[in-house]
Amino acid sequence: MREKDRRSTEVDRTWLHIAYRGGSLPIEPDKQLLVFLNYLGNQQSMRECAHLFGLSKSTVHRVIHSVTSALLQIKDKVIRWPNGEEQKEIAREVQRNCGIPGVVGFIDGTHIRLASAPGGDRNFYNRKGYPSMQLQAVVDNKLLIISAYTGWPGCTHDARVLRNSHLYHNAESGRSFIQDHQLLADNAYPLRNWLISPYKNYGNLTLQQHRFNKKLSSAKQTIERAFGHLKGRFRRLKEVTLHDPKDVAQRIMAACILHNFCVINNEELEEFMDSSENDPNACQNVYLNGANGVARRMRLLQLV
C-alpha cells in the first residue's frame, strides 16, 4: 500500500457546527455532510435540497459553505504530490501497462460549465461558446488527483493555465520530479524535460513515432477517465449556478477532494463514468517546446 493511500480521509468535524442562536438545535455534522453530498451529487435546486432534508433554504446555504470550508482545510492532506518512492512506484506500474518509463502522472484541463458568466465577463466563454471555468488536474495511474488548479476563465488556453500554476514553477525549478521522470500530456502542452506530449502528425511520422504516439494516447486516457468520474459522480459540476468565481473554484476543489476520498477507499467508479460531454480543450500548443523536453522525448522514443 502506497503511503499516499494512507492519507487522511477524515473531515475535521469541528468545522461543521453552525453557531447555535436559539430555536432549532444545531445540525449534526453527519447530516451536514449528507446535505453537501446530495447538493454536489445532483443538479436539483437549493430549495429542493432543503425540502428533502427538512431544512430552510438559508440553512442549506450555510451548511454548504461550512462543509466546503472544512474540506478545503484538509486539501493539502488529500491532494498532494507524490514523494520520490511513490513516483518510482507509479512509474513502474505505468510502464508495466503502456511501456513508457518514468511516468509520474497524466495532466490535462477540463471545462466546468457555468450557468452564466460571472459579472457578464466574456472571458469566461470558451471555444464552444458557453461560459466555463478551467480545471487543470494531474492524476496517477489509479485516477487519484495529485495536483489540482482551478479559477481561470474558459477562454484561457491549457498551456497558459499551466504556466501560471504552482506545478509549473515547482517543476521548472527542479523541485517536483526525481531524475528521468515526467508527466504525459496532449498536444496542447509544450515539451519540457518533465512534460512529454505526442509528435505532431504532419503526414511524415515514422512507424516508431506512430507507435510512440499510440502508446502515449492510450496511457493518457487515464486523465480523461478521471474527469469522467469526477463529473459523473458530482453532477453539480455539469452546470454550476454560482456567480462568484471564488465560490465556483472552491466547489470544484471540494469535488476534487471528495473524488480522492472515493479512490482511496476503492469505491466503484465505472457506474459514474460520464463520457457525454464534448470538452472544448482540444487545442494545439502555443508556446515553444523546450530543448530538454525535445531531447527527453527522443530518448523515450528509443526506449519504447
Helix then strand then coil, in percent of the chain rounded to 5, is: 50, 10, 40
Q: Which domain holds residue 174?
A: 79-303
Has residue 97 been placed in a domain? yes
Provide the residue-wise pLDDT of the chain in tens; the chain has 304 residues: 454 454 555 555 555 554 444 445 678 989 999 999 999 999 999 999 999 999 999 999 999 999 999 999 999 999 999 999 999 999 999 999 999 999 999 999 999 999 999 999 999 999 999 999 999 999 999 999 999 999 999 999 999 999 999 999 999 999 999 999 999 999 999 999 999 999 999 899 999 999 999 999 999 999 999 999 999 999 999 999 999 999 999 999 999 999 999 999 988 766 666 655 556 555 666 678 889 999 999 999 999 8
Closest residue by Cα to residue 138 from 200, 180, 189, 68 = 189
Strand order in the sheet with 132-139: 145-153, 132-139, 103-113, 182-184, 195-196
Same domain, residue pair 185 and 164? yes
Same domain, residue pair 152 and 299? yes
- Rounded-to-integer distance, Cα 269 and Cα 273, Å: 7
Same domain, residue pair 203 and 274? yes
Same domain, residue pair 121 and 261? yes
Same domain, residue pair 207 and 168? yes
- Alpha-carbon dihedral angle through residues 246, 221, 205, 304, given to the nearest 10 degrees: 120
Same domain, residue pair 43 and 87? no
- Rounded-to-integer distance, Cα 105 and Cα 191, Å: 15
Same domain, residue pair 110 and 248? yes
Has residue 3 been placed in a domain? no
- Rounded-to-integer distance, Cα 273 and Cα 52, Å: 26
Same domain, residue pair 175 and 150? yes
CATH assignment of the domain containing 63: 1.10.10
Grid coordinates representing 74 are: 484538509
Beta bridge partners of 209: none
Has residue 1 been placed in a domain? no
| Full-model pTM | 0.89
Please identify, among 73, 94, 129, the residue that sits at the C-terminal boundary of a domain.
73
